[in-house]
């Protein structure tokens, strides 16, 4: 997933700090950097072939987003995952997802709508829950960009990222990911129709039902 995040944007448009952020964000989300792990800036810099300053800047940003925690004289650690936080995260994310969908219904361009459809077409080629989740995440991030509201996009992305860490704990136990992606096709139809109210309802119902399924396997 880390490579996908970087490849989704043309490399020439990424600063070293942004590239480091995207890679580290996805390593944390997918638990490839496990919760509680000590993060060595120098080792990461060598592994990613990115300077220590961009890596340091990326970690500062990830700390603000609660994906890492910095302790003076102890170091930087991947934050622990508290299953009980899912309810709090969902409480904030649910109305924001609806707002994103409603605004996207009003602002999405024909090209952006085609991009969303193309992402969902990749569902048939996705391999297992991991591949389906990659498709779902790509869809959400593209949908957020359709709002053309950087403040809303940054806020909802933070809660998506926190949700994904918990989701990766349950990924092998979720049976209906393909069905949830089918619901996203209904959302695209509402966006194409410019129906903000219907888009809001579909987005919130989708997230609510998915959250219930996650809680049932935790």
Q: Do domains 2-78 and 85-217 have the same CATH topology?
A: no
Instruction: Give the per-residue pLDDT at 210.
Output: 82
Reported as a single tens digit per residue, the pLDDT across 170-211 is: 888 776 677 777 889 999 999 999 999 999 999 999 899 888
Q: Tell me if the domain spanning 2-78 has CATH number 1.10.10.10.
A: yes
Return the sign of the alpha-carbon dihedral for residues 118, 120, 122, 124. negative
| Contact by Cβ (8 Å): 50, 19 | yes
pLDDT digits (tens, 9 = 90+) for 48-62: 999 999 999 999 999
Helix (H, G, I), strand (E, B) or coil at 127: coil
CB atoms within 10 A of CB 77: 16
Q: How far is 64 from 205, CA to CA, in rounded Å?
A: 29
pLDDT recorded at residue 14? 85
pLDDT at 124: 67
Compute the average pLDDT of residues 60-79. 95
Per-domain boundaries in the chain: 2-78, 85-217
- The alpha-carbon radius of gyration of the chain (Å, integer) is 17
Q: Does domain 85-217 have CATH number 1.20.120.530?
A: yes
| Helix residue ranges per DSSP H, the chain | 2-7, 16-29, 41-48, 52-64, 85-107, 110-121, 128-146, 150-170, 177-192, 196-217
Q: How far apart are CA 186 and CA 182, in angstroms?
A: 7
Global confidence as pTM: 0.88
């Amino acid at each position: 997933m880390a490579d996908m995040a970087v490849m989704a944007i043309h490399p020439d448009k990424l600063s070293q700090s942004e590239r480091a952020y995207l890679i580290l964000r996805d390593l944390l989300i997918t638990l490839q950097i496990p919760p509680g792990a000590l993060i060595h800036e120098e080792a990461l810099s060598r592994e990613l072939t990115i300077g220590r300053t961009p890596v340091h800047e990326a970690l500062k940003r990830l700390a603000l987003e609660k994906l890492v925690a910095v302790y003076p004289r102890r170091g930087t650690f991947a934050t622990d995952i508290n299953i009980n936080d899912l309810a709090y995260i969902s409480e904030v994310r649910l109305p924001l997802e609806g707002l994103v969908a409603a605004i996207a219904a009003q602002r999405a361009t024909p090209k952006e709508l085609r991009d969303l459809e193309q992402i969902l077409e990749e569902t048939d080629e996705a391999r297992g829950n991991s591949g389906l989740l990659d498709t779902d995440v790509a869809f959400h991030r593209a949908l957020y960009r359709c709002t053309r509201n950087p403040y809303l996009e940054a806020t909802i992305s933070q809660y998506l990222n926190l949700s994904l860490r918990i989701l990766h704990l349950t990924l092998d136990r979720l049976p209906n990911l393909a069905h949830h992606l089918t619901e996203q096709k209904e959302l695209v139809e509402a966006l194409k129709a410019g129906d903000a109210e219907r888009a809001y309802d579909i987005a919130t119902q989708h997230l609510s039902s998915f959250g219930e399924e996650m809680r049932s396997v935790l």
